Structure 1
Amino acid sequence: MNDDMLPRDEAVQLIAPDGTLTEDADYPLPDRGALLDAYRGLVEGRRFNDQASALVRQGRLAVYPSSHGQEACQVAAARVLDGAADWLFPTYRDAVAIIGRGVPPAETMVLLAGDWHSGYDVRAHRVATQSTPLATQLLHAVGFAYAAKRRGDDTVVLALCGDGATSEGDFHEAMNFASVFRVPVVFFVQNNGFAISVPLSRQTAAPSLAHKAIGYGMPGQRVDGNDVAAVLSVLSAAVRRARAGDGPTLVEAHTYRMLAHTNADDDTRYRERAEVQAWVERDPLRRLRTHLRAVGALDDEIEARFAADAETLATELRTALNTDADLDPEDLFRFVTATRSPLLEEQWAMLRGEIERTAAASGQAESASREGASR
């Protein structure tokens, strides 16, 4: 067995929950500039999550799978890629990573608001559309990376998924193909302990999800998913390996979602409050803030600036989703096929007739009301 492919017994950690440093011979601590930028991302990500959850309660979002508590994974994923060459393939829970790649907040939320549009220009931002079905984006990511390799492009693809996705057949097919053809892709599993209500113990008997990598002939590594410094360092190494032509890597981040699976989920039915509370002390934002304060890299002025930037982001999202869209009913038929079929024309004619009749009846009722009021 190739020991170089096996993950560590303990997850890589560079900053402990109390903010103190943990030396590591293989993974260097990112410099202060990178850590400050990551902290800014954590502040913005937390505020974005809170605002999106509030918009669900207000009826402006159909659903929101919060990444509260997982922001370190999200922030690192957005920052380890080359903005001009690399691609991110996200899941439905990766909105913070998507905005970290420069996608406007309002466009990021289009899918979750229930709009039929895809939401953002994937080519402009090099971010694939969010995937709701588990693991399907992994096959797409591998295919995209393989095509880039065949073209000779200097492209690395980072494919995000959760622990539940590793129980899907698509996960295994993607891993196998990527390794056989040495595809420049990094598989990043955010293991938050549950596939909705199914705990990890009911999904796998492996020592860790990262151990699955060696079965496909690729290295696997475990990282403390609430330590943004460690996630940055481990992912950066995997990206460099892929770019050098050495093939894929599987990285498993051990993290926790502090809120329910989505607003439609009651997580009290499958996990104890004490378990959730235990993860509060491992909060990624608090951890990095403590470290940066201790080394003198963060002060009240910088904190205030980051908080203001985060509030601007939240305001932008709130304003966009509180603005009613001007909908055109013909869009239901306009983009189904390049040339509209006779059946679609007939259906549109029926709907248009109903709209016109409703408008005429409404106008008549309003006219009658005005006449009654004038008598």
Structure 2
Amino acid sequence: MTVMEQRGGYRPTPPPAWQPRTDPAPLLPDAEPYRVLGTPAAAKADPELLRRLYAHVVRGRRYNAQATALTKQGRLAVYPSTTGQEASEVAAALALQERDWLFPSYRDTLAAVVRGVDPVQALTLLRGDRHTGYDPYEHRVAPLCTPLATQLPHAVGLAHAARLKGDDVVALAMVGDGGTSEGDFHEALNFAAVWQAPVVFLVQNNGFAISVPLAKQTAAPSLAHKAVGYGMPGRLVDGNDAAAVHEVLGEAVDRARQGGGPTLIEAITYRIDAHTNADDATRYRAADEVETWRAHDPVVLLERELTERGLLDEDGIRAVRDDAEAMAADLRERMNQDPVLDPMDLFAHVYAEPTPQLREQRDLLRAELAAEHDDREGTHR
């Protein structure tokens, strides 16, 4: 007879269904977004970090402008701009250590570039050339995800696997406010909290899911409040304040690394440009609304803080802008070169071991290309 079979033996009893698993109070976000720039907290910010954030944000603004121009020149098929959101993009990349992983959405090419991905490679998918465009393992940046929110479960899986293996790795997953309406978002948060996976979720709330305003997506007090339903902390931060986003993300990454589990962070920002070059934003928002947000520009906020504290002068501003122009010129020159494409690459990265059907398709295409080549050669004889 086992202990469990004995009369009066131990019977584990779960708590009543109505009883909270955790105290919700510490998980709730603050009523107002956290800010650093322009507040007394800015005096404690590291001057070198502020200069670094400023340089990357200025480069990011120029990167966005150049990539948008490339769409008009036919060099990019599509570009989802992050003009106005550069602070969150930059902070996300800089908050991670080299061994950590970044999981971007299709709008987060700037974060990938700040992480170290070559700008041309970061734009390759949007150019329509081939697959990811870069080696995810080189910089620990997962492939850009065009389906909404599918990168979030991927981030949770990697983070959970890393912890099981004993690897000191944190995953940071980026998503827009529209992505929070997808099932993948909720499934990822639930798994992450139950497993206490070392993952941080950054929601860039830029006001619109294409043309749908946030108020038509959710009635929650904030997107950060959704964290409580899954048993993780929610943080609300001014997404245009690079110092604030970097601080909040840094704390969440440290917490995850130390075994504290996941955090959901909502960065309040604004999409200055249209959803993509294929979108007409004037059909669903007024110009004065956009101009109001231009007054809260992330470049201006950092530049004002640095100049008022004597940490940046005209020469420093000019040097940063010149560096951004040099980056844009290099990007423009290399993107204006027609890539050399091999049609057989269509079959090179689909399966580790090609299936019989894939091999058959590959052989058919190879035969067709050879026949076309022979026809051209015959015509020129």
TM-score when normalising by structure 1: 0.91
User: How many Å separate the matches in 1 of 2:176 and 2:341?
Assistant: 35
The 5 Å alignment of 1:255-274 reads: 255-274=269-288
Amino acid of the residue matched to residue 3 of structure 1?
A
User: How many Å separate the matches in 2 of 1:230 and 1:116?
Assistant: 37
Query: Aligned to 2:126, which of 103, 112, 128?
Result: 112
DSSP 3-state at the match of 2:125: coil
Following superposition, the deviation at residue 237 of structure 1 comes to 1.1
Q: Is there any run of 5+ residues in structure 2 with no aligned partner, and where?
A: 1-22
DSSP 3-state at the match of 2:295: helix
Following superposition, the deviation at residue 308 of structure 1 comes to 2.1
The 5 Å alignment of 1:275-290 reads: 275-290=289-304
Following superposition, the deviation at residue 96 of structure 1 comes to 1.0
CA contact (8 A) 2:24 2:231 kept: no
Following superposition, the deviation at residue 120 of structure 1 comes to 1.1
Q: In the superposition, relative to structure 1, how do residues 172 and 29 fare at CA in structure 2: closer, same or farther (>3 Å)?
A: farther
Query: Aligned to 1:49, which of 64, 76, 80?
Result: 64
Following superposition, the deviation at residue 22 of structure 1 comes to 1.2
Alignment RMSD (CA, Å): 1.9
CA contact (8 A) 2:198 2:257 kept: yes
**Does 1:313 pair with 2:327?**
yes
Following superposition, the deviation at residue 337 of structure 1 comes to 4.5
CA contact (8 A) 1:106 1:316 kept: no
**Does 1:223 pair with 2:237?**
yes
Residues 85-94 or 27-36, more deviating: 27-36
DSSP 3-state at the match of 1:54: helix
User: How many Å separate the matches in 1 of 2:377 and 2:243?
Assistant: 63
Counterpart position of 2:217: 203
Counterpart position of 1:32: 47
The 5 Å alignment of 1:6-85 reads: 6-15=28-37, 21-24=38-41, 29-83=44-98, 85=99
User: How many Å separate the matches in 2 of 1:348 and 1:161?
Assistant: 36
Aligned length in residues: 359
Q: In the superposition, relative to structure 1, how do residues 57 and 3 fare at CA in structure 2: closer, same or farther (>3 Å)?
A: same
Following superposition, the deviation at residue 270 of structure 1 comes to 1.1
Q: In the superposition, relative to structure 1, how do residues 207 and 75 fare at CA in structure 2: closer, same or farther (>3 Å)?
A: same
Q: In the superposition, relative to structure 1, how do residues 78 and 360 fare at CA in structure 2: closer, same or farther (>3 Å)?
A: same
CA contact (8 A) 1:29 1:233 kept: no
User: How many Å separate the matches in 2 of 1:77 and 1:9?
Assistant: 23
The percent of aligned pairs where both chains have the same amino acid is 55
The 5 Å alignment of 1:354-365 reads: 354-363=368-377
Amino acid of the residue matched to residue 131 of structure 1?
C
CA contact (8 A) 2:149 2:180 kept: yes
DSSP 3-state at the match of 1:130: coil
Q: In the superposition, relative to structure 1, how do residues 281 and 341 fare at CA in structure 2: closer, same or farther (>3 Å)?
A: closer
Amino acid of the residue matched to residue 185 of structure 1?
V
User: How many Å separate the matches in 1 of 2:195 and 2:257?
Assistant: 14
Deviations 1:42-75 (A, max 9, x none): 0110010001001111111110000000000001
User: How many Å separate the matches in 2 of 1:111 and 1:153?
Assistant: 30
Following superposition, the deviation at residue 339 of structure 1 comes to 5.5
Residues 61-70 or 230-239, more deviating: 230-239
Amino acid of the residue matched to residue 100 of structure 1?
V
Counterpart position of 2:17: none
Amino acid of the residue matched to residue 113 of structure 2?
I
Q: In the superposition, relative to structure 1, how do residues 345 and 79 fare at CA in structure 2: closer, same or farther (>3 Å)?
A: closer
CA contact (8 A) 1:28 1:233 kept: no
Query: Aligned to 2:194, which of 141, 155, 180?
Result: 180
CA contact (8 A) 1:226 1:254 kept: yes
Amino acid of the residue matched to residue 4 of structure 1?
P
CA contact (8 A) 1:30 1:233 kept: no
Residues 314-323 or 148-157, more deviating: 314-323
Following superposition, the deviation at residue 273 of structure 1 comes to 1.1
**Does 1:250 pair with 2:264?**
yes
User: How many Å separate the matches in 2 of 1:333 and 1:50?
Assistant: 34
Amino acid of the residue matched to residue 39 of structure 2?
T
Following superposition, the deviation at residue 138 of structure 1 comes to 0.5
Query: Aligned to 1:170, which of 173, 177, 184?
Result: 184
Deviations 1:8-58 (A, max 9, x none): 11111111xxxxx3135xx98431100000000001100100010011111
User: How many Å separate the matches in 2 of 1:320 and 1:213?
Assistant: 43
Structure 1 ranges of 4+ moved more than 6 A: none
Amino acid of the residue matched to residue 8 of structure 1?
D
DSSP 3-state at the match of 2:343: coil
